Amino acid sequence: MKIKVIIGALLCFGCASAQNAYQKELNNQNYKGVIEKAQHALKVNRTDSIASYYMGFSYTKLNEPKKAIEYLIRAKNNGLNIFPVQLNLAKNYAVLEEYDNALDELQEGANAGSPAYAQLDVMEFEGLVDNERFKAIRQQMLNTAFPCKGDANYRKFDFWVGDWEVTHFVKGTPAGKSMIRKEEDGCVIRENWISATPGITGTSLNFFNTNSNQWEQLWVDNSGTFLKLKGSRVGNQMILVSEPFVKNDGKSYQNRITWTKQDDGTVRQLWELLQGDDVVSVAFDGLYTPIAK
């Protein structure tokens, strides 16, 4: 979606009348007609950056890279320094095998936050596919498009992802099953669990909050019981704690759940009820064992 928005900027920057002036010819791929209209606009206003852009864009389509570069640079110098301009400049430089100039334009777009990595997978850049700088620029754009995939913070709870048989840690008796997946391009870990007690199910959403720099969990079961937790990875443990709440006895408590990554590939989940720094009770102590595939 982000990429479509960026590419859509080709037709939405400037005023609506400027867009409409070229739309018919663009839709019909009549690039010579676009050039004629843009030339007229430039006679009226030599600094018309939109007209200069469409001149450059059309010459790109007509495989006239030198003319395209001339007008795209003019558009850029007159204030239209956006990714579609940089991309088309890069394409034309690449066609002329001026690869350093092409990479400079792409780097500028990547540094400005363009997520349009897919726009680099075109024939104009075939001569750059093995270039390390080109690869790094594409990766930078990919990370912008899918930030959760490129940020190590989003992977700190990955040790809990999988399909698990869950047993009570001390007794070893069945507690249920848990299916845990990464979703939304790595931005969310979703847990779906089924209790060994028939009819009891639940789910949780787990994500890294970049504003607070903490992990958060929203947990709810089919009885309507819910928890909101937040915390951080510490060593081989994810430790999430609720806000304080007051029970019927008038005292303040907190829920704390600790997931421990164990050397044998299992995960221990310990859910404790706290009063201050003291553990009042254990709500659940479970062992997650991977289900054999």
What is the domain-level CATH number for residue 129? 1.25.40.10
Looking at the structure, tell me whether residues 157 and 140 fall in a common domain: no
Give the C-alpha separation, 229 to 255, whole Å.
8
Looking at the structure, tell me whether residues 102 and 175 fall in a common domain: no
**pLDDT for position 97:** 98
Looking at the structure, tell me whether residues 222 and 129 fall in a common domain: no
- Name the band, by pLDDT with cuts 50, 70 and 90, for residue 8: very low
Give the C-alpha separation, 285 to 184, whole Å.
29
How many domains are contained in the chain? Answer: 2
Q: What percent of the chain has pLDDT over 90?
A: 91
Give the C-alpha separation, 175 to 282, whole Å.
15
Per the prediction, the chain carries an average pLDDT of: 93
Looking at the structure, tell me whether residues 38 and 99 fall in a common domain: yes
Which of 7-11, 243-247, 284-288 is least confident?
7-11
Residue 68's CB: how many other CB atoms inside 10 A?
Answer: 25
Domain that holds residue 127: 2-145
CATH number of the domain encompassing residue 231: 2.40.128.20
- Please name which of 46, 48, 3, 47 lies closest in space to residue 21, comparing C-alpha atoms: 48
Average pLDDT of the segment spanning 52-66: 97
Exposure string over 86-117, b if 16+ CB within 10 A, otherwise e: bbbbbbbbbbeeebebbbbbbbbbbeeebbbb
Please name the helix (run of DSSP H) or strand (run of DSSP E) that holds residue 268, with its range, or none: strand 267-275
Question: DSSP code of 186?
Answer: T
Looking at the structure, tell me whether residues 102 and 168 fall in a common domain: no
Give the C-alpha separation, 148 to 184, whole Å.
9
Contact 156, 240 (CB under 8 A): no
Which of 11-20, 183-192, 195-204, 214-223 is least confident?
11-20
> Final residue of a domain: which of 145, 167, 195?
145
> Final residue of a domain: which of 145, 171, 196?
145
At residue 155, what is the residue type?
Answer: R
Residue 278's CB: how many other CB atoms inside 10 A?
Answer: 8
At residue 248, what is the residue type?
Answer: N
Contact 268, 259 (CB under 8 A): yes
Report pTM.
Answer: 0.75
Looking at the structure, tell me whether residues 262 and 163 fall in a common domain: yes
Give the C-alpha separation, 250 to 245, whole Å.
9
Looking at the structure, tell me whether residues 117 and 195 fall in a common domain: no
Give the C-alpha separation, 284 to 277, whole Å.
18
Contact 167, 289 (CB under 8 A): yes
Give the C-alpha separation, 253 to 246, whole Å.
6
Give the C-alpha separation, 34 to 41, whole Å.
11
Tokens matching residue 77:
């110098």
> Final residue of a domain: which of 119, 145, 171?
145
Looking at the structure, tell me whether residues 119 and 157 fall in a common domain: no
